[in-house]
Amino acid sequence: METIIRKGVKEDLRSVLELIKELADYENALDQVSITLKDLENDGFGAHPYYWFLVAERENQIIGLSFYWVRYSTWKGKFLFLEDFIVKEEFRRQGIGAALFEETIKICKELKFKGMCWQVLDWNAPAINFYKKYEAEISSDWLNGKLTKKQIDSLCSLIVR
């Protein structure tokens, strides 16, 4: 069976959301997924897209996803940020992840970006080993910081101008 890697289109979003949830479940964080199909439609296919994606497709079924956006480094310039990268569990270890990842690398090169980056959980050994096959640098130097919408709303109510 042939696997096709292609650019994602709006009609793929239902399957994309399923894959996002599958990844979140794998990462023990399914309860944190709040994005909706409407959010994905508006944010990826509106006047100013905030993300793009590739899909791996076999027999008209989407079985993998490479979801990315542009990150800007003040030190280096444009980077492709690989937000989510997943292959359905039953299709892993068949070269599909490699095909998706390599196509994402090609897009980065075509766009003349300065590089590609992503995050990987420190306990996800299969993913870390996958990335190391590409001689990727896996850093433990940086810690992630974030504020949620709830925290931002709360903080903004306290900020006096």
Catalytic residues: 131
How far apart are alpha carbons 51 and 70 in whole angstroms?
8
Buried b (16+ CB within 10 A) or exposed e, 99-126: bbbebbeebbeeeebeebbbebeeeeee
Alpha carbon distance 18, 98 (integer Å): 21
Neighbours of 83 (CB within 10 A): 16
Three-state secondary structure call for residue 84: strand
